[in-house]
């Protein structure tokens, strides 16, 4: 699992494992929209948690 915020406006989340991974977002990060996903529905953000399927990733626009 790899996650970081780029330029204060884009959240990058990547899962390099064969397992489903859950990542709890920091409280100050609110996802506004999807920029790109490796596969539609491969990453879901719900209630402040990103759920990533195996070998998936996404870029999200976040609220400033």
Q: What is the pLDDT of residues 9-59, one digit of tens each?
A: 999 999 999 999 999 998 888 899 999 999 988 999 999 899 999 999 999
What's the predicted TM-score (pTM) here?
0.81
- Average pLDDT across the chain, whole number: 90
Number of domains in the chain: 1
Q: Which domain holds residue 19?
A: 2-62
Q: How far apart are CA 39 and CA 47, in angstroms?
A: 21
CATH number at residue 29: 2.60.40.1180
Cβ–Cβ under 8 Å, residues 20 and 55: no
């Amino acid at each position: 699992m790899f996650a970081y915020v780029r330029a204060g406006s884009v959240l990058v989340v990547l899962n390099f494992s064969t397992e489903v991974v859950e990542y709890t977002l920091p409280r100050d990060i609110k996802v506004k929209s999807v920029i790109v996903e490796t596969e539609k529905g491969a990453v879901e953000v719900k209630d402040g948690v990103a759920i990533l399927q195996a070998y998936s990733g996404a870029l999200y626009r976040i609220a400033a």
